Amino acid sequence: MKPFCRRNMSDEEFVFNTSLSAARVKSEHAFGLLSSRFRILRKELECQYKTSVNIVHALCQIHNALIPITAKTRTCEDLEEVDVVPYGTGAEQRDFLAYHLFNK
């Protein structure tokens, strides 16, 4: 997802860009953890996109099952369900997410 353009950026767009950057770093760290644990992710997956998504989901489940449960561990039940704009352009998805973030 592309951040908002820096030129003429509103305060809300700046906060959104900062949040997006932090989320990107966290997702890169998470994928780094997965790829260090599962060698299959160290090279390109030579399969269809949907199969690749299923492989990554399965590896996430296995990874999570191997982590000891503690009081600080967040589960899926702790997370709020958010509507998704699956087929919009990147800008439409970004705008939808920014709207959801600032209008709650």
3-27 pLDDT, tens digit each: 888 888 888 889 889 999 999 999 8
pLDDT at 75: 60
Residues in the chain: 104
Distance in angstroms (rounded) separating the CA atoms of residues 94 and 104: 16
H-helix or E-strand containing 80? none
What are the boundaries of each domain within the chain? 13-102
- Which residue type occupies 11? D
* Side-chain half-sphere exposure of 82, counting CA atoms within 13 A: 15
Mapped onto helix, strand or coil, the DSSP state of residue 90 is helix
Token pair belonging to 70: 């503690």
The burial of 96, by beta-carbon neighbours within 10 Å (0-12 exposed, 13-18 middle, 19 or more buried), is given as middle
pLDDT in tens, 26-49: 989 988 989 998 999 999 999 999
